[in-house]
């Protein structure tokens, strides 16, 4: 794919950068889908989480094309070696080549390519592509979020009763003790779980502690631009590009449901040691 220059005297022009991001993530998703259909080798990383040949191939593709857009933008990816250099950058690509690798390996459709541009701690551009279902979410700070070109807005729920909920079983159990909720099947991509709050398919999404910047940044902007909230359990917004990119337990919902959950949320452990329980 071709790369157009996007930098000017004041830094990257956001309009072509947003377009190039969408094109790059879509192309990366096509690579992932072809490997998904063909079958790939997998192995276990040092933190006992799985990785596949597709994760590495997509990561390399994204790094090559995104870093070519502007040399001043830093890089943080689940499948790339991390280092302190990113901490000195004002802008940062935050990348998960395949979010939901276990779903990918199992032949499911709940996986996605997730990329956000973070500026001074918050995402300002996002593209989240689920190739197996053809769903392409994009968002730009202050300009809304769309799914395959259609504007997104969270469902305006005002009561916990009847809410459709997804997340770790312990969270669903706790919520079911205080309200009559509909428990939805687990979505192995955390980014897609959060993004489906923006579509209205899910009313409340929980995440246990230990999720990382790359799991969250793109979906965070998408749900925010759809007028939803993704925060810690005590209602604090997320900040990205910290020395430790991990986050505590999270809640994602419409403003009314979010307020009800934050008011009653028990203090969870900061990190859940089991990555597969996010």
Instruction: Name the pLDDT band for 61 (thresholds 50, 70, 90).
Output: very high
Q: What is the mean pLDDT of residues 131-157?
A: 96
Structure tokens at 231: 């925060």
The pLDDT of residue 272 is above 50: no
Instruction: Name the pLDDT band for 45 (thresholds 50, 70, 90).
Output: confident
- The rounded Cα 169 to chain-centroid distance in angstroms is 20
* pLDDT tens readout for residues 163-176: 999 999 999 999 99
pLDDT at 11: 47
The runs of H, that is alpha helices, within 132-212 are 169-176, 190-199
CB 74 within 8 A of CB 86: yes
Structure tokens at 162: 């009847």
Instruction: Name the pLDDT band for 48 (thresholds 50, 70, 90).
Output: confident
What's the rounded Cα separation, in Å, for the pair 179 and 207?
A: 19
The lowest-confidence range among 24-28, 155-159, 178-182, 206-210 is 155-159
**Residue 12 phi, psi dihedral angles, 5° rounding:** -65, 140
Beta strand 50-52 with 42-44 is antiparallel
What's the rounded Cα separation, in Å, for the pair 262 and 271?
A: 18
pLDDT at 40: 87
Query: Which residues lie closer than 8 Å to 113 by C-beta, 6 or more apart?
Result: 25, 28, 29, 32, 58, 62, 96, 97, 98, 99, 127, 128, 129, 131
pLDDT at 1: 40
Q: How many other β-carbons are positioned within 10 Å of the β-carbon of residue 210?
A: 20
Per-residue DSSP letters for 63-129?
A: HHHHHHH-TTSEEEETTS---GGGGG-SEEEEEEEEE-HHHHHTT-S--EEEEEEEETTEEEEEEEE
Instruction: Name the pLDDT band for 249 (thresholds 50, 70, 90).
Output: very high
What's the rounded Cα separation, in Å, for the pair 101 and 247?
A: 19
Q: What is the mean pLDDT of residues 26-40?
A: 96
Structure tokens at 88: 């000195």
């Amino acid at each position: 794919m071709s790369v157009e220059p996007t930098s000017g005297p004041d830094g990257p022009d956001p309009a072509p950068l947003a377009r190039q991001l969408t094109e790059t993530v879509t192309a990366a998703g096509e690579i992932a889908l072809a490997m998904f259909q063909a079958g790939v080798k997998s192995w276990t990383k040092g933190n006992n989480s799985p990785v596949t040949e597709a994760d590495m191939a997509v990561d390399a593709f994204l790094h090559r094309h995104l870093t070519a857009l502007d040399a001043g933008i830093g890089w943080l990816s689940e499948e790339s070696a991390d280092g302190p250099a990113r901490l000195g950058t004002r802008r940062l690509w935050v990348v998960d080549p395949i979010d939901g690798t276990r779903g990918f390996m199992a032949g499911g459709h709940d996986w996605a390519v997730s990329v956000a541009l973070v500026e001074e701690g918050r995402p300002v551009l996002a593209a989240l592509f689920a190739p197996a279902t053809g769903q392409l979410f994009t968002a730009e700070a202050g300009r809304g979020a769309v799914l395959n070109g259609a504007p997104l807005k969270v469902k305006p729920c005002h009561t916990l009763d009847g809410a459709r909920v997804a997340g770790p079983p312990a969270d669903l159990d706790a919520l079911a003790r205080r309200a009559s909720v509909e428990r939805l099947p687990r979505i192995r991509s955390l980014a897609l779980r959060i993004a489906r709050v923006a579509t209205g398919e899910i009313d409340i999404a929980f995440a246990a502690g230990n999720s990382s910047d790359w799991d969250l940044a793109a979906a965070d902007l998408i749900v925010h631009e759809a007028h939803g909230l993704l925060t810690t359990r005590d209602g604090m917004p997320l900040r990205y590009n910290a020395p430790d990119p991990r986050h505590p337990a999270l809640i994602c919902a419409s403003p009314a449901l979010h307020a009800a959950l934050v008011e009653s949320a028990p203090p969870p452990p900061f990190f859940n040691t089991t990555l597969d329980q996010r």
